[in-house]
Amino acid sequence: MVLETERLILRELVIDDWQAIHLYAADADLVKFMEWGPNSEGDTKAYVHHIISTQGQTPRKVYEFAITLKGDGSLIGGCGLYLEEHSQASLGYCLNRTFWGRGFATEAAYSLCQFGFYDIHLHRIFATCRPENTASARVMEKLGMKKEGTLREHFYAKGKWQNSFMYSVLADEFTE
């Protein structure tokens, strides 16, 4: 499966992607807002193997894509929709820091929302970010997501309980 935007191609992961993914997954500063990481090489390889194992599942519950540049095919990040019950899915994205600030996360996430609402007919897409991750919150707002509130200490990572902001957009709110 492939999704295409003006500047990006979102494609299924392949085994050889692990090295490009590891460039950002092992970056301690980049993953400071994530529930995971920084990854060892083994962690990254295991992640790629796990995602590839979900690609053939029926019904499919995970749509995880490599974010690649249209021009040269460079893998610059990853994004995905993770289906839940009642036509809902969580949205996630992560970019190599070299590509921050250029709108790539918004472009990739927007394409995933289009896919989610128009192709698999989701009712609601939601995403979370740590309160201090203002760049991710801006991406969600650009997608038309509304802030629903704060999830207080809802996960434990990096040695302490963490808060997250919850954002969502409904199918009838999402516009081209």
The SS3 of residue 151 is strand
Query: Residue 151 in contact with residue 128, Cβ under 8 Å?
Result: yes
**Which of the four pLDDT bands, split at 50, 70 and 90, describes residue 176?**
low
Q: Which two tokens stand for residue 129?
A: 């970010």
- Report the pLDDT averaged over residues 90-116: 97
**Domains (ranges, CATH) in the chain?**
2-170 (3.40.630.30)
pLDDT in tens, 33-87: 887 778 899 999 999 999 999 999 999 999 999 999 999 999 999 999 999 999 9
Composition of the chain by helix, strand, coil, percent to 5: 30, 35, 30
Neighbour count for residue 50 (Cβ, 10 Å) = 12
CA distance 153 to 164: 8
Give this prediction's pTM: 0.94
**DSSP-derived secondary structure for 113-130:** HHIIIIIS--SEEEEEE-
Query: Residue 85 in contact with residue 23, Cβ under 8 Å?
Result: no
CA distance 51 to 5: 22
CA distance 101 to 152: 28
| In the chain, % of residues over pLDDT 90 | 88
Q: Across all residues in the chain, what is the average pLDDT? A: 95
pLDDT in tens, 121-132: 999 999 999 999
